[in-house]
Chain A
């Protein structure tokens, strides 16, 4: 629980810094995207911390490329 608060706090701090910094230099688009990514990252971090079933890209990739690599792996593994 403490970790979640810590993560959220850190995200807020960094978010504020980004907000101020880019606000000064008038770059709203960068700010928006940066905060967006920050949001995703924070959500992900909190999800991981709370052991929620967050999507795992490794599994995603494994799933996508299954048909290709399975035969290759079996060919390589044979005999070893």
Chain B
């Protein structure tokens, strides 16, 4: 269902047979409907054209208003039901227009009427001109109300965007114990406003694109001028310009289309659902990409370190924040390595286990039909299936699934002797550890790589693990995100920047912005003095 709109992208010549029929039609449309053809001066013609273009869709409403008794000056309002705020439209467009009554001898020229509408009658904040059909449909389908006047080819678009949308709620994917409970919504304007409320600086700039040939999705970037690197901005603009696709339904599309590393499991673009996280990153010189229709905002450039940071690290005290950061880091390593290390030890390096534990493990493995790596592999696989099932289940059945999964499968499998309990412990602990990383995208990398490590461990033991880890290291140190090395500040090593990685230095020690991000402005503004000493000390 969702794949069809992708086929039309990248209009490379000669590949016509690959494109769907829809894409062909769409290209026709491109030449006719959205062309720079101006509107007709006759309202009737316009109405016919619109209905033709939109296939007489029932939710396009035409409201005509007569401004004179003789029926000469006519105004036609077009809007999409459900995308406009009905109340505002009634009160501020239709009502004022109704109040305009011109006797026959005081008819106005259409152009005069247009101007008068704009400057006196329409009590709407955002009003713009429409000169051709492309603009017409763009604005109409954004939720504007278009007002056309008999006798002139110019129309007016009034912003009465409304309709039912999700309100501001707590973000579902990024929980915080302390910190604001706002999460982004699906509207770009609402989201950008939320960010503006965090950074009330005139230097917070925004640039807008419309990406997606058919979906015409508004995409905009926000950054703090003076903090963001101009080169990265330029690069980002070029990449966004180069995107050619039928539709952008989620920021994930943009992410995939502009990312540096197309094949790496490690994400080089971060996505967040919280405005405070975005604001924090903007203050460090990064750039945010907002996509209409999704609450997930992209942050660019993103390096490895960022995926271990949670916004609330800064809201809690630095000692607990440091502790939690280390736990996150260790959990990631556990999630990545634990199954493979278990398999390696049990299969190849039994001498590493203290004797008592070894005896217990050996006892458990009596009668288990599978070798250790197969056990681990099966259990991991089962767990991945469980995980996916829980996400898709309606919440009513969700609890049942967890009970089924946990008790029935885990317990029964162990009691049936198919799998040893140690493996179940390892797999469940790995799963829990993998939920710890605040950024889901990094967790994905761990999930995938775990299987490769498992394979390496089962064939070559610790040596295999060491080899794969080396490969990963080489890969990670090689990747860049918009020009920035992924493993900064671990390698190349910059001791000064380490204060916000595994540890979270107190705010009063973080005097400098991470290097190379904020080249124009290397010193943070908050050179607070040390915390005040207690009086009397």
Q: Do chains A and B touch in the complex (CB under 8 A)?
A: no
B residues apposed to A, CB below 8 Å: none
